[in-house]
Structure 1
C-alpha cells in the first residue's frame, strides 16, 4: 500500500469580512489632525478640519491610489490607453472622546462608524500648538491611546455580554446531544472565551490566538478590537524632519506592551498639507527644501497590507490594471473580481510573475523561457502575478 498523503494544513481564517472590497477608518481624539490628514491623503477638502471637537460628524469617504513601482513599470512597458492602479478606501471618522462607549459626545454614532470599517489608522497627536486646542486640555499621546484602547474594548465587552446573554436565553432548553445543540454549546464556550480576553486579560481580540472555528464566532460579532491598527503619530514638521520627539519612545513602548507587532509610522500633517497640491519635480524640490519626504506612500501601503490585501495585474495595450484580492485567494475567485462569469465558467489562468517579465523584458521572451504557467482552480494567487483568464461559454 502506498503511504497515506499527509493532510494539508488547514488554511488560517482571517479576522474580519471575507471581502476584497475593504475600508480603513481614520480614528483618534478630536483635534489630533485626522481630517487634515484625510484631506492631504485624498487631495480633497472633504474632511472638515476645524479647531473644535466634532467638526466631522458624518464620515467622509475617498479612494486613495496605492503607490506601486511595479504598476508604473508595467504602464511604461505596455503604454496602455487606460491605467487603473489599486485603490484603498479611506473613511474620515468623527473624533472619539472619553466615555464614548457609554454614548458621550458622538459616542454611539462614532462607534458604529468604526464598526463599519475593516481596519484602523489611529492618529495620535504628539505636537504642541497653542492655536490648536486639545480636548483633554494638554498634549499627552499615551493618555489619548489609553482612552481609545479603553473605549473600543468597553464597547466590545458590552456587545459580547449582550450576545452571550442572548445565546444563553435561546439555549436554556438544550439537553439533547444533537449536532445543533452541541454547536450552540460550543458557540457559548467560544463567546465566553472572547469575553475573558477582553475583560480579564484586558487585551484586544486581534492579539489572542484563535482557531478557525473561533474566528467564525469572532467575525460574527463584528468587534472593534478585532480590526488591524496602524498607529500614525502626528509630529510637528520640525520634529518629523529631525526624526526626534520626546513622545516617540514612550508611544513605541506602549504599543509593545499593549499591542505588540502593530506598526508605528511617524508623519507630519503640517508637511503633508504643504506637499499635497504639488506633483512631480515641484514636489521633489519642496521635499528637498524641507529635508524630508512625504510619509503618505508608506502609510497607504501599510494600511493596504494590514487588511491582508494583495494585487495582481492584467496588462495589454488597452489597459493596465491592478486588481485587489485577499492574500490566499484562489485563481477562480481572483478572476471573479473582474466578472462573476470568469469565476463561474473558469477554465484556467495563464500566469506569469512580474519579476519574470521584468527580467526578460517582454511577454514573448517570458513565454520563450517557459515561464508562463497554465494554472487551474487550486492555484493560490501570488502578489504581483500577471494573469490572463480563460472562461467557458
Structure 2
C-alpha cells in the first residue's frame, strides 16, 4: 500500500518527501510544477517495540515495516478541467491508497504562494474541490453505462449502479466519499473506480522553526477542520526535518535536543501515515531477525501469514502468539510457554496490533 503527498505548489511537498526518504538530491526550484513525474520512495516506520523485543530475543538485525510514498506535483484550482498539469496529477493520486496533504502554515516572503496568500483552509478546500469534481466526472461517465448493463439482470452491474448512485448523491452535496459508510462488497466497487475523495486523508501542517509543536493559529485552523472531518493532523517543519535527515546519527541527536524534539517529527508522520492506510503491525522474532510486518486492521491469521509468503497463507495450519507484555514479564519464549501464556489460534483469528507470532503451515 502507498500514500501520495499532495498539495498546492510551493507548500513544501518535495522538501518533505526528500526528508522522509533522506534524499540527498538538490531541492527543487521555487516555482510551480517543478515535480512533473511523481517521485517514489520507501520510508521505514519507526517502532520502539522492535528494540523492546530484542532485549529478550537477541537478533542479528532489526527490520521495521515500511510504507511507500509518492511525491505528486502541485495541484492548482481547475486541475480537474486541465489547469496546470491537470488530470495527469489526478491520475497519480488515483493510484495511491491514501492522501497526505501538505498545508502551508508558515509565512515566508521568499517562497511564493500560488494563491498570493497563506491560508491553509483555502488550500485544503481547493484540493478537496478538485478531487470531488474529478469523482463527479467519473460517476457521470460510468453510471449510464452501468445502468444499461444492469438491465440484463447482471447482479454485479446492479450493485455497481447502486454504489454509483450513492456516490452521485454524496458528491452533489459537495461532500467527499470517504465520509460514507461502505460494506465489504461496496468497498471493492469503490476501489475499482479509484475514486479520489474516497481515499483516507492525513493533513501535514508544514510549520516554521518557531512553531515546531504546531500551536500557532494557522495550525489550529487545520486541527479544527480535521476534527470535523475525522482526519488526523501532524505538524512538521519540513525545512528543519530535511536538515536533520542529512546529518549522521550523533549530530542528529544533538540537533533534535537543541530543537526540543525527542524524535524527528517525520517519525510521527510515518506512523500516522501508516495508521491512515489502515495498517497495523505484528512481529516475528528469532536469532536471525526481529521484524515488523504490515497487515490491514481486521486481517485474519492466514492473511497475516500471507504477508510473509503466499504459501504460508495457502498452507496455514495455526499460529502461536504471545504479547510483548508477556515477553517482558517472563523474559523468554520458553518461560512464556511454561506459564501457559502462549496462545494457539486458528484460521478465524483476527490479528491484533503487536502480536508476536510463529506460523505453522503445510
Which interval holds the TM-score relative to the shorter structure?
over 0.9
* Residue aligning to 1:219: 191
Aligned match of 2:221 in 241, 247, 250? 250
Q: Partners in 2 of 1:66 and 1:333 — Cα distance? A: 21
Q: Secondary structure at the match of 1:350?
A: strand
Instruction: Report what 1:7 is aligned to.
Output: none
Shift of 1:151: 0.3
1:29–1:144 CA contact under 8 A, matched in 2: yes
Query: Are 2:313 and 1:343 aligned?
Result: yes
Q: Is the 8 A contact 2:6 2:100 kept in 1?
A: yes
110, 120, 123: which one aligns with 1:131 = 110
Taking a change above 3 Å as real, the CA distance of residues 51 and 42 of structure 1, as seen in their structure-2 partners, is same
Report the equivalent of 1:9: none
Give how far 1:339 is off: 1.7
Instruction: Please list every run of at least 4 consecutive aligned residues from structure 1 whose deviation after the TM superposition is greater than 6 angstroms.
Output: none
Equivalent position to 1:372, from 339, 342, 348: 342
Match status 1:277 vs 2:246: yes
Inter-partner Cα distance in structure 2 for 1:381 and 1:186: 30
Find the residue that maps to 1:139 and give its secondary structure: coil
The structure 2 residue matched to 1:190, chosen from 160, 163, 171, is 163
Q: Name stretches of at least 5 consecutive residues in structure 2 with no aligned partner.
A: none
The structure-2 alpha-carbon separation of the partners of 1:65 and 1:99, relative to structure 1 and needing over 3 Å to count, comes to: same
Is the 8 Å Cα contact of residues 7 and 75 (structure 2) preserved in structure 1? yes
Look up the match of 2:201: 229
| SS of residue in 1 equivalent to 2:217 | coil
Measure, in 2, the Cα distance between the counterparts of 1:106 and 1:118: 21
1:191/1:217 contact within 8 Å kept: no
- Report deviation, 1:288: 2.3
| Deviations, residues 53-94 of structure 1 (Å, cap 9, x unaligned) | 111111111111111111122234333223321111111111
Aligned to 2:12: 33
Tell me, what secondary structure is at the counterpart of 1:377?
coil
Q: Name the CA distance, whole Å, in 2 between partners of 1:115 and 1:72.
A: 36
Partner of 1:11: none
Tell me which of 179, 204, 221 is aligned to 1:207. 179
2:57/2:332 contact within 8 Å kept: no
Larger deviation, residues 323-332 vs 151-160 = 323-332
Aligned position for 1:14: none
Determine the structure 2 residue equivalent to 1:140.
119
- Which secondary structure state, in structure 1, belongs to the residue aligned with residue 212 of structure 2? helix
Instruction: Report the aligned-residue RMSD.
Output: 1.8
- The question of whether the paired residues in 2 share the 8 Å contact of 1:100 and 1:151 is answered with yes
With normalisation by structure 1, the TM-score equals: 0.87
In 2, the alpha carbon distance for the partners of 1:212 and 1:338 equals: 24
Over residues 219-259 of structure 1, what are the superposed CA-to-partner deviations in whole Å (9 max), with x where a residue is unaligned? 22211011111101111111226x432312322333344xx
Task: Structure 1: state its 5+ residue gaps.
Answer: 1-21, 175-179
Distance 1:47 1:118 in 2: 28
Residue 148 to residue 168, structure 1, CA distance change in 2 (3 Å) = same
